[in-house]
Amino acid sequence: MQLQQIDMNLFPVLDAIYNTRNLTRAAERLHITQPAVSNALARLRRALDDQLFTRTPSGMSPTPLTESIMPKVQQALALLGSSVTGHHRFEPASAHKTLRVSMNDMAETLVLPQLLEHLHAVAPGVSVESYYVPRDQLVKELAANSLDFALDIPMVSATQLNQQRLVADRYQCMVRPDHPLAGASSLTLEQYLGLEHIHVSSRRSGPGIADIALNKLGRRRKVKLRVQHYRVAPLVVLKTDLALTVPVSLARQYPAKCFELPFQIPQMDWHLLWHRSQDDEGANRWLREQVIEMFGS
């Protein structure tokens, strides 16, 4: 089967099914009927001599062939889209666009207030949707243009993405301002280990970055509370004797006492990530320039 024998209009349908895992939702995304999606899928199955998707209780599951071709299909669709729209000059004052970005709750705290204030002044028609996409799904979502950007740690192996470091954030130990240790000028390792700690992780179990560093020293801290989000942890610190190991940029937003850590821990690098196919797309380029400048100011 040669490429010119396949109807190129079928590949957006393949992409929609792949992203939604559902024929009805794919039809809604494409603004066509569900039978039209089913017909397009049947034609692709014949053309590629593969089922492409199988029905499962959780939705349409892609076959190995589909998984193998989708990165290139999504890249081609994104390149085609940017070639059609990229030559248009982006006018922020009159633009109407939804910026879709993946970031966790801490990144939202650091970015959204300032970003929304800036957009309100210079691009009032631009709105923002923020939600967290797991790192193993980021390349797929960015390639499919389901996301414009992600704010996350560096992804060295993701060769399809461009990355710009925004800030390097070191960690400190936060306690409430009237904590028994608050009058000290510094914190020793024994004092740190004598505290009860909050551990922030979206996982049910497993060590954090502080625990890994302490394990290398043959030491272990006492975790009293494990929570999913950084936003709630400082509020618990302010009401208890618990300590929180937290990036400086978040710690400085609370009336707390912060100590430099008495052991070495890697800093947290925040990176802006986007798909290479969006490099020259006008709106994407302007919006990422705003974020980069915001962190540089």
**pLDDT per residue over 26-67, tens digit each?**
998 888 899 999 999 999 999 889 999 999 988 999 999 999
The residues near 284 (Cβ < 8 Å, ≥ 6 apart) are: 148, 149, 274, 278
pLDDT value at position 142? 87
Q: Could you read off the pLDDT of 57-115 as tens digits, one per residue?
A: 889 999 999 998 888 887 777 767 665 555 556 788 888 889 899 998 888 888 888 88
What architecture is the 3-62 domain classified under in CATH?
A: Orthogonal Bundle (1.10)
pLDDT value at position 291? 87
Partners of residue 258 on adjacent β-strands: 174
CATH 3.40.190.10 is the classification of domain 171-266: yes
Does the structure show a pLDDT above 50 at 1? no
Tokens of 297: 């100011």
Report the alpha-carbon angle 205-208-213, nearest 5.
135
Rounded to whole angstroms, how far apart are CA atoms 275 and 46?
Answer: 31
* 60 backbone dihedrals φ, ψ, rounded to 5°: -80, 115
The 3 state secondary structure assigned to the chain is: CCHHHCCCCHHHHHHHHHHHCCHHHHHHHHCCCHHHHHHHHHHHHHHHCCCCEEEECCEEEECHHHHHHHHHHHHHHHHHHHHHHCCCCCCCCCCCEEEEEECCHHHHHHHHHHHHHHHHHHCCCEEEEEECCCHHHHHHHHHCCCCCEEEECCCCCCCCEEEEEEEEECEEEEECCCCCCCCCCCCCHHHHHHCEEEEECCCCCCCCHHHHHHHHCCCCCEEEEEECCCCCHHHHHCCCCCEEEEEHHHHCCCCCEEEECCCCCCCEEEEEEEEHHHCCCHHHHHHHHHHHHHHHC
CA distances from 254 to 153, 245, 265, 269 (A): 24, 14, 22, 21
pLDDT value at position 159? 81
Domain spans in the chain, listed from the N-terminal domain onward: 3-62, 97-167+270-296, 171-266
Quick one: pLDDT band at residue 297, thresholds 50, 70, 90?
A: low
Q: Do domains 3-62 and 97-167+270-296 have the same CATH topology?
A: no
Partners of residue 164 on adjacent β-strands: 272
pLDDT value at position 111? 85
* Greatest mean pLDDT among 41-55, 120-134, 181-195: 181-195
Q: Could you read off the pLDDT of 147-170 as tens digits, one per residue?
A: 899 998 888 778 888 899 988 889
Q: Is the pTM above the cut of 0.85?
A: no
- The domain 97-167+270-296: what is its CATH number? 3.40.190.10
Tokens of 49: 């001599």
